Amino acid sequence: MTRSRWAPYALVAAVVVAGAAAYGLRLGLIEPEAFGHLCAGGGPWWCAPRGALIDLLHTGVLGIGAAALGAVATLARRAGAALAAAMLGAAALALYDAELGAVGFLLGVLVLARSAAGGRRPERRPAEQ
């Protein structure tokens, strides 16, 4: 089976879309002060899911998941796990979980880059004498 020459661009687009969606969630639902004030006194029905999301983000679950998927992708050399790690890492970076999110993102991107290169190692140059 041959790979399309556009496959690496599709992977990059998927990671960018995941990061942009997370950033949109951050700017649209989490950060607005008006929503925080509205939800402080009970508020509409969507305040409970918003609060649960914020509590979930404080646990660092996105970064932990990204780092775990990145480790699996690195050890098993699986492109699917690498893509998931990169996407989850991008989302974690946008949603306040930069420490482990960056680790997962980087591991995922490195495995994807290696996969896109066909698993080839760089050629060694003979030592100059």
59-77: burial string, b at 16+ Cβ within 10 Å, e else: ebebbbbbbbbbebbbeee
Strand, helix or coil at 2? Answer: coil
pLDDT digits (tens, 9 = 90+) for 100-124: 999 999 999 999 988 877 765 556 6
- Residue 91's alpha-carbon distances to 2, 51, 85, 105, 122, in angstroms, are 31, 18, 10, 9, 31
The dihedral sign for the CA sequence 90, 93, 96, 98: positive
Look up the pTM and report it.
0.82
pLDDT at position 121 is: 58
